[in-house]
Chain A
Amino acid sequence: MTAFRRYATTAAGVLILAVMLFPLYWMVNASLLPSTELVGSEPAWLPIHATFDGYRNALSSQGGHLLTSLYVSLGTVAVTLLIAVPAAYGLAQLRAAGGRLLVFALLIAQMIPGIVMANALYVAADALHLINSPLALILADSTLSVPFAVLILHAFMRTVPTEVREAAAIDGASRLRTLLSIILPVSRNAVITAGLFSFLFAWADFLFGVTLTSRDERAPITVGIYRFIGAHMSDWNSVMATGVMASVPVAVLLVVAQRYVAAGITAGSVKD
């Protein structure tokens, strides 16, 4: 390719990206525009008269939901890793009996439609008086991430030579001890990737949030936005500011942990 054609291709790529990311730009734009410019018949392409009123409103009405989401998402990460790390270790390193069936069950489990789970989990949570409890939300959200976490950790831990574990066993280390002081440090990156995606899944959850919380102050941010649109249809400025704030943790994770995100997406290229 000539240099000209390569730059023309870059220009085309930038254009494609601009089209695909336009909705996100439009959200940021609206979050900064004063309400008067939002209702005009001409679109305001740039937030020239930027205002932070939307963010002030959003923070005062949605700040609690953001905290709830943060709490629930971190809880989901903890529950997920607590289940998935030993399971992946048992599957990949110890070749535990019934392992194949478990992997198969998890593969099928990720395909169960969430609405089916919500229906049954609502009844169960009601019976246990866990409606509006963050615990119920943490447990429900973990169903989104446990299969993924087990599968990705399993894929990684299989690449750790069994000789490493066997050497530790000869030195007298118990299986649990080997997991904690040898396998876990070696698998650090895979654990971070699994935890990161557990966080993202829980943060993005809407279905369990909307079904398992009836009291507004207990709702996660996704439900907060949803109810906020219902109540403030015309106040797009604040609605969009809320949307931007709900994207902040995702954006931060993308920047800070970029290579783990990439690892999660291209997990398949883990070498044998």
Chain B
Amino acid sequence: MMADTIHSQAAPAGGVRVRPIGKPMGRSAGVRGGRGGTGWAAFGFIAPAWLYVAAFYVYPLAGNVRMSFQDYTVTSFFTGRAPFVGWRNYEAVWRDPAFAKTVVNTVAFTVGSLLFQFGIGLALAVFFQRRFPLGGVLRSLLLVPWLLPLVVSGTAWRWIMETDSGVLNQALMQAHLIDQPIPWLASTSVSLLSVTLVNVWVGIPFNMVILYGGLQGIPAHLYEAAALDGAGAWQRFRHITLPLLRPVTAVVLTLGLIYTLKVFDVIMVLTQGGPANSSQTLTTFAYDLSFQRLTFGHGAVVGNLLIVVAVVFAFVYLRATRDGEGRAAA
């Protein structure tokens, strides 16, 4: 997660010159192969990393694609045989009644998470831009939930959302907002809402940090000039902050999307995708198919679908950072 902060922050930082890491060589190409005969001779230092990429990214990806065409079941692990079955796994997943439900859930979970993480994150970023006593300390303490293992914070939420003794229901009942406890995690109608809520909580610090960085990059004299021209706070936000924040916004939303698609820990701890698949997303569905139902071929199909979506948005992300750089340089 953090690595992307590098780029995201790189995009808006008007004052600080940062080159996105994605394109390091081009500009100083003249140095390559220069003094000391570097270039190929230096390849030895990056060779382990290449081997690593091959063994731990390319091979698993290729393996996943291959498995999606094989009848890979629990017996395959004993016999070592997994016959090729063409597109049959794809058909099976397509016909699985849980599949359509899962796609709809994934879209709702992703859109809901992004919308609220971004909205609240932006509001907090704007808030913490003011100078006030303890501002810096409070802002860095907000990051604490982000650094804890998601299983831990998910467990805390599970206790909060417990139907009978959870504090959420108890507080709502005491405030007379509800008459009887809501089964946040045990009801098919609210479980998706509940996991989305927790995921929004998880994502707010990330959004806030990056958007705060973006806000810092907007020159203060623009606001001063606008204030002199009589622009109110809302107008300044609408006509200065939002347009100048657009490159960072693109980065935050694409990264957020890629991470939301991957969300696994939160849902597993809270609901395991249940009850009755009501909070199942593509990621937990892939886990369920492979590691619970032990139909690894089916799990691989869903995994491939996730790869396609992730790669598409990865390119969107890389383009967004490049655009951001162009704008910052201009």
Contact = CB atoms under 8 A, between A and B. Distances in A.
Interface stretch (A46-54, A55-63, A94-102): A94-102
Given A115-B283, A118-B291, A207-B265, 4 more contacts: A83-B49, A111-B311, A122-B290, A155-B21
B46 interface: yes
Interface string B142-156: 111101111111011
Interface in A96-115: 96-100, 102-115
Given A97-B40, A113-B303, A102 B45 contact: no
Given A38-B165, A95-B32, A104-B22, A269 B269 contact: no
Given A42-B170, A124-B63, A207-B264, A267 B269 contact: no
A43 interface: yes
A16 interface: yes
Contacts of A42: 170
B25 interface: yes
Interface in B151-196: 151-153, 155-160, 162, 164-165, 167, 170-171
B2 A175 contact: no
Contact of A110 (B3, B24, B213, B304): B3
B36 interface: yes
Contacts of A118: 287, 290-291
Contacts of A99: 24-25, 46
Interface residues of B, number: 115
Given A123-B296, A254-B147, A13 B160 contact: no
A206 B287 CA distance: 12
A26 B159 contact: yes
B116 interface: no
Contacts of B264: 114-115, 206-207
A217 interface: no
A92 B213 CA distance: 25
19 contacts: A16-B127, A21-B141, A24-B145, A42-B170, A43-B167, A95-B42, A97-B32, A107-B21, A115-B283, A116-B64, A119-B299, A122-B291, A122-B296, A123-B67, A123-B72, A124-B60, A152-B6, A169-B36, A240-B159
